[in-house]
């Protein structure tokens, strides 16, 4: 049976949006609810509570002092934080009875090292980080240890039924066959197929099978025209001169009208 941790709180009179003034003074607003009683607004020292909460978590039995009617047994139900700074903004305490079982989500604490990870290069697939537990408040564990040293080979796994607990004190409500953690092989991405290389200059390309990146022949160009029968093809890399180019040079253009006079 765990001993309750004492936490000093005070009834809170500042409500609504005015609670920002409390936070500026270093006080954390909260509320105590449940247990067949009315909700009670409270406040506590923010710094002291945050330091203690790191050790307690949500499943440690607390004894709230400073309220009318004596000490109140409670569990931390929820802590609200600023999404940007992470600063605590509000805490909810749930009253509990030491003679009635309660329910809580208990975190899993993974300990030791898996040989499958160390020697076979496996990675751990974590399917759960907490389990739902039923127990008396004073028996509620802060965490349940999960020993990874039993994961010897790839595909070895730990299920809810394998968790080591004291069944006389606590009951895990999850499905016994639910996966907790498994050693799996590292997934290797498949290599993309290599792109089809452009044909080397002078290499024949089958008709209709031009590779990606091969430049098609320009429409209307000499290279696109079939070679005349008996004509020798132009040497590779040589510039093809138009047929009329040599004839045009040095030939006098025709003038419109009468021919030029001879000198």
Q: Which domains does the chain have, with CATH numbers?
A: 5-96 (2.40.240.10), 103-184 (2.170.120.20)
Residues of the chain with pLDDT > 70, as a percent, come to 70
d(CA 93, CA 80): 12
CB 81 within 8 A of CB 89: yes
Q: How confident is the model at residue 247 (pLDDT cuts 50, 70, 90)?
A: very low
pTM of the model: 0.65
d(CA 204, CA 252): 44
Q: How confident is the model at residue 66 (pLDDT cuts 50, 70, 90)?
A: very high
- Structure confidence at residue 160 (pLDDT): 97
d(CA 213, CA 210): 8
Q: How confident is the model at residue 1 (pLDDT cuts 50, 70, 90)?
A: low
- Structure confidence at residue 217 (pLDDT): 44
Q: How far is CA 12 from CA 42, 62, 90, 92, in A?
A: 4, 19, 12, 13
- Structure confidence at residue 222 (pLDDT): 44
Q: What is the pLDDT of residues 36-64, one digit of tens each?
A: 888 999 999 999 999 999 988 889 999 99
Q: How far is CA 141 from CA 116, 132, 225, in A?
A: 29, 11, 88
pLDDT of 72 above 80:
yes
Among candidate residues 136, 218, 144, the one with its CA nearest the CA of residue 180? 144
The pairing of strands 102-111 and 130-135 is: antiparallel
* CA-atom Rg of the chain in angstroms: 42
Q: How confident is the model at residue 24 (pLDDT cuts 50, 70, 90)?
A: very high
Burial class from Cβ neighbours inside 10 Å (0-12, 13-18, 19+) for residue 67 reads middle
């Amino acid at each position: 049976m765990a001993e309750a941790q004492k936490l000093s709180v005070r009834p809170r009179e500042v409500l609504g949006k005015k609670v920002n003034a409390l936070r500026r003074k270093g006080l954390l607003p909260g509320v105590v609810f449940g247990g067949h009683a009315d909700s009670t607004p409270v406040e506590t020292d923010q710094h002291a509570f945050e330091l203690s909460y790191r050790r307690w978590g949500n499943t440690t039995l607390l004894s709230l002092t400073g309220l009318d009617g004596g000490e109140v047994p409670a569990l931390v139900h929820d802590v609200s934080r600023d999404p940007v700074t992470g600063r605590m903004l509000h805490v909810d305490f749930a009253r509990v009875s030491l003679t009635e079982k309660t329910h809580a989500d208990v975190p899993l604490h993974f300990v030791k090292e898996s040989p499958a990870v160390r020697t076979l290069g496996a990675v751990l697939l974590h399917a759960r980080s907490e389990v739902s537990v039923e127990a008396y408040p004073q028996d509620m564990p802060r965490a349940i240890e999960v020993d990874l040293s039993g994961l010897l080979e790839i595909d070895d796994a730990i299920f809810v039924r394998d968790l080591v607990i004291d069944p006389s004190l606590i009951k895990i409500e999850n499905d016994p066959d639910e996966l907790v953690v498994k050693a799996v092989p590292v997934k290797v991405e498949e290599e993309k197929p290599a792109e089809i290389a452009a044909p080397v200059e002078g290499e024949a390309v089958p008709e209709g099978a031009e590779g990606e990146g091969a430049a098609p022949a320009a429409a209307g160009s000499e290279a696109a025209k079939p070679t005349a029968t008996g004509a020798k093809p132009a040497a590779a890399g040589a510039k093809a001169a138009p047929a009329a180019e040599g004839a045009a040079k040095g030939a006098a253009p025709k003038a419109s009208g009468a021919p030029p006079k001879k000198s």
